[in-house]
Structure 1
Amino acid sequence: MFSIKKISLILLYLSSFSAFAMEKTFNKIEFLGNNRTEESVLNLIVEINSGDKFQTEKLEKAVQQLKNTHLFSKVEVSITGDKDDSNKIDVKFNLEEKWAIIPVPIAYSAGGVSRYGVALMDYNFLGRFYQLTNYFYLQNSKPNFGSTFVNNFTFNLPLISVLSFNYVDNKNTIYNKNKEVGYYSVNLIQLEGDMIWKFNDYINLGAGLKYENAGNVNNELSNDEKIKNTQNGIEKPKSFDNLAFVGKGGLGKIDHDSYLAQGAQLSSTVTSTAGMYQGNDNEDYTKFENTFLAYYKMKLYNHTNFALRIQHGQSNSKNLIRKMYLGADQIRGFQSMQYSGNEAIYSNVEVRQTVYEGNYVSLQVVPFFDVGYIGSDFGNAINNQSLMSYGVGLRLPLMQLAGLIVRMDYGFAVTPENQSGFSFGLSQFF
């Protein structure tokens, strides 16, 4: 097969013999090895049409866009000149498909919280590159379920539409500022719909609506747990039933090549009731979430990824259900939801070093470092808490299954106190 570099050399050679080399155009676009995805959708993904001016940059981008779908284990491209017109270039994408419909076991354990269940994930629903995920799991023996649908080309436009439903039945262990234990339980229903416009590969902007209903608060607590809450000053969260506006934005791009990634992206979300519930039993609130992700494929070490996440969140809510929490889900080695506040920032750094790569499974050794800061007022350091941990983990990317990676981490917390914990999941930590 021709590589992109070989294609460039061929074009350079042809340009020395043809005064019309700059007028070469794409002709036929074929996708070989594709059995599950509509060709009209693949054409939207590669962004190449018959009659477009031929550019090697477009081919490079098209190959990467196909890899970013996670639908193919191999993507190669070859070109030939049309037999009747040498200025017309035929393109063939040679593809090997992954399994796109995957029953995925949900297995997560960290910091005193365990989740076990199953999700049915279809990365190519109806052959239209829709993503459909349905899940059911038990979190500490409580049932949770939901569904998410994503249309990446709504109306055949660069418009992403997302619909999601979640039912949460949780009983959580939390801690006050004196590290005294408390509890709350809640049944939470969430419905959200968003529309996101992709201006180009690097900028997107969207909006949506989110409905939330929280009920049966603390109904699952025992009398001893309620007494413990009273002794330690843990207030009962209020139930709520409200509608909020959602704004979303993204800047940057991350490219994927199997289990490796390259690039950087900043994503921001604001959720606000926008004053609709003043004087109502429901609480008005505004929440900001910002996530920066960066990945770098280290050239000195084969198939090794440097990975960085920086996450910031802020909520003006006084309700325990809507506060910010830092624990095992964010910083490994701690208990789940061990620290709370109205503002939090944390970062995770990993070096994902591949020590074995096979056709069906690979192995990565991953040293990591996590750090965080949380409080109710970042300007008053006395009431805030710093967290830090380090550790090592293993990753087992399953090469023929889209997006499935077995993760095992062990973290050692060093600030504010020494403790440790095991973390397990079926995807990368971030």
Structure 2
Amino acid sequence: MKRVTSFIVCVFGTINFAVSQHMVADLKVQGNKKLKTSFVKRISKIKSGMVLDSAMIAEDIKLLKRLPGVAHAYFQVFPADDEGLYNVFYNIEDNFTIIPSANVYTTNDDEFAYRLGLYEFNLFGQNITFGGFYQKDIYSSYGINFRAPFLFTRHIGLAINYQDLTTQEPVFFNNTTADYKYNNASIEVLGLYQFNFNNRLEFGLNYFTEDYQYKFGATDPAVPLELRVKKLMYKGIYEYNNIDYFYQYLSGFRSQLNLQYVTTRDETLPEFLIGWNDFSYFLRVGEKGNWANRLRLGLATNNDSPFAPFAVDNNLNIRGVGNLIDRGTGAIVLNTEYRHTLYEKDWFVLQGNAFVDAGSWRNPGGDFGDFGDSQNVRIYPGLGLRFIHKKIFNAIFRIDYGYGITPDATQGFVFGIGQYF
């Protein structure tokens, strides 16, 4: 009898608790101009008729602030006409999202390369990215990109990428170097799946052709002067993201794991597995400071090949080092910098930064001891400036100057759009 009584009390207590909850009468979106209200409601967890949940609202706001089309977002809650019902207002500050991109890099060897692009990051007001780029790095290259993370549902999207890249690549073998004209033409299709607010997955295929043509430098009978290989890549990306955005300031942690398995029928460029993880950590320092860090740990199948997958490059990992100066089958790279707001007025921000980029690589066919070899270690401290428009997505023009302090180091400027990492 006691059990029955306890059950009845528990049931009626639960019903009474549910009835006493504040409920959502409607979700209203205001302030947005280009970003569609229907899209905001579709990706938001809070819905009409649900229990008013402050944690769920906070999660929606963090998601909105991550969108390229949103400069800032906040919420308000007001009682509706009926008792116990509340209207939730999501207030949106739109970003301008048709954005040019530019990356320029030089070294003290008078090396000069650039990439220019134009992207729409909020196509049709649906958070769809579409655009392309042109690159001049001795040779001309181009690419076209489409990415719609919420194309089908709040959790499922699609990305399609095409690129035709041509560069002059150094190939390292027997302590000598040769330069090749390298072309990579690829088409990639990825499915995008977001498990929840913090966790997402990308998976798909990349079909590409690699073409190497000898230009000048050392030769070896074991290294072909011309090589054209068709390859198929199985690609997966898993990301945990707990970054919170407040205009130019970031705080929190992100981890992104990339895994790729490349198949081929050519023994000169054998199939291989490659994986790397980027760990990023951001910390607000006072009112105007931001400490930013990125650690990359990567390994690939340790083939003794001059065409190793991990590159040492100005525009990828070490500012001031030069354009693709070395390759390896493993990489450890740390980028750390302190960003400080020097001036802020309305939409404009001038930010200064001091950084240290450091890394080491495993030689093709080598061992883990290569990471400690002084010839493979590169350390480049430097200074930079950021010119930021707060109401235009990724409108950060950066200038960095890196100066190498390890043996045979170079120095140089790196220009670009967006933070380096």
Shared fold (TM-score, shorter chain, > 0.5): yes
Single out whichever of 366-375 and 205-214 deviates more from structure 2: 205-214
**Could you say which residue in structure 2 is the equivalent of 1:304?**
289
Distance 1:168 1:278, change over 3 A: closer
**Could you say which residue in structure 2 is the equivalent of 1:269?**
258
Distance 1:236 1:73, change over 3 A: same
Matching residue's letter, 1:313: G
Matching residue's letter, 1:323: P
1:365-414 CA distance string (max 9 Å, x none) = 10001111112234334866111121111111122211121111111111
- Offset of 1:68 from its aligned partner? 1.0
Matching residue's letter, 2:238: G
Unpaired segments ≥5 residues, structure 2: 1-15
**Could you say which residue in structure 2 is the equivalent of 1:3?**
none
Whole-Å Cα distance in 1 between the matches of residues 45 and 386 of structure 2? 34
1:99 pairs, out of 83, 90, 96, with 96
Whole-Å Cα distance in 2 between the matches of residues 286 and 116 of structure 1? 30
- Contact kept in structure 2, 1:105 and 1:116, CA below 8 Å: no
**Could you say which residue in structure 1 is the equivalent of 2:8?**
none
CA-atom RMSD in angstroms: 2.7
Whole-Å Cα distance in 1 between the matches of residues 288 and 60 of structure 2? 22
1:316-363 CA distance string (max 9 Å, x none) = 355544431223231123222223221111110011111111223211
1:89-130 CA distance string (max 9 Å, x none) = 11222223221222x142311346534353221111122111
Matching residue's letter, 2:93: E
- Offset of 1:171 from its aligned partner? 1.3
- Offset of 1:57 from its aligned partner? 2.0
**Could you say which residue in structure 1 is the equivalent of 2:87?**
90
Matching residue's letter, 2:234: F
The sequence identity of aligned pairs, in percent, is 20
Whole-Å Cα distance in 2 between the matches of residues 413 and 56 of structure 1? 50
Matching residue's letter, 1:208: G
**Could you say which residue in structure 2 is the equivalent of 1:294?**
281
**Could you say which residue in structure 2 is the equivalent of 1:45?**
43
1:177-213 CA distance string (max 9 Å, x none) = 75x5531111210111111322112222342111110
1:253-274 CA distance string (max 9 Å, x none) = 222222221211111121113x
**Could you say which residue in structure 1 is the equivalent of 2:379?**
388
- Offset of 1:364 from its aligned partner? 0.9
Pairing of 1:197-216 with structure 2 (within 5 A): 197-215=193-211
**Could you say which residue in structure 2 is the equivalent of 1:150?**
147
- Contact kept in structure 2, 1:181 and 1:232, CA below 8 Å: no
Matching residue's letter, 1:336: N
Distance 1:400 1:182, change over 3 A: same
Matching residue's letter, 1:415: T
2:132 pairs, out of 131, 134, 145, with 134
**Could you say which residue in structure 2 is the equivalent of 1:76?**
74
- Contact kept in structure 2, 1:196 and 1:248, CA below 8 Å: no
Single out whichever of 349-358 and 324-333 deviates more from structure 2: 324-333
1:324 matches 2:282: no
**Could you say which residue in structure 1 is the equivalent of 2:104?**
108
Matching residue's letter, 1:76: Y
The size of the alignment, in residue pairs, is 398
Matching residue's letter, 1:184: Y
**Could you say which residue in structure 1 is the equivalent of 2:231?**
242
1:218 pairs, out of 193, 201, 213, with 213
SS in 1 for 2:377: strand
Whole-Å Cα distance in 2 between the matches of residues 21 and 351 of structure 1? 51
Distance 1:54 1:73, change over 3 A: same
**Could you say which residue in structure 1 is the equivalent of 2:340?**
353
Single out whichever of 112-121 and 261-270 deviates more from structure 2: 112-121
Distance 1:357 1:232, change over 3 A: farther
1:284-327 CA distance string (max 9 Å, x none) = 122112211111122x2x13211111112223355544431223
Whole-Å Cα distance in 2 between the matches of residues 36 and 290 of structure 1? 35
SS in 1 for 2:327: strand
- Contact kept in structure 2, 1:70 and 1:258, CA below 8 Å: no
1:196 matches 2:192: yes
**Could you say which residue in structure 2 is the equivalent of 1:11?**
none
Whole-Å Cα distance in 2 between the matches of residues 19 and 251 of structure 1? 35
1:29-67 CA distance string (max 9 Å, x none) = 111122222222101333210112112222322222221
Whole-Å Cα distance in 1 between the matches of residues 257 and 18 of structure 2? 47
1:402 matches 2:393: yes
Matching residue's letter, 1:56: S
Whole-Å Cα distance in 1 between the matches of residues 355 and 33 of structure 2? 40
**Could you say which residue in structure 2 is the equivalent of 1:35?**
33
The TM-score, its normalising length taken from structure 2, stands at: 0.86
**Could you say which residue in structure 1 is the equivalent of 2:183?**
187
SS in 2 for 1:331: coil
**Could you say which residue in structure 2 is the equivalent of 1:6?**
none
Whole-Å Cα distance in 1 between the matches of residues 223 and 268 of structure 2? 20
SS in 2 for 1:154: coil
Whole-Å Cα distance in 1 between the matches of residues 222 and 203 of structure 2? 38
The TM-score, its normalising length taken from structure 1, stands at: 0.84
**Could you say which residue in structure 1 is the equivalent of 2:12?**
none
Matching residue's letter, 1:88: L
SS in 2 for 1:146: strand
Matching residue's letter, 1:89: Y
Whole-Å Cα distance in 2 between the matches of residues 279 and 191 of structure 1? 20
Distance 1:54 1:105, change over 3 A: closer
Matching residue's letter, 2:369: N
Distance 1:101 1:68, change over 3 A: same
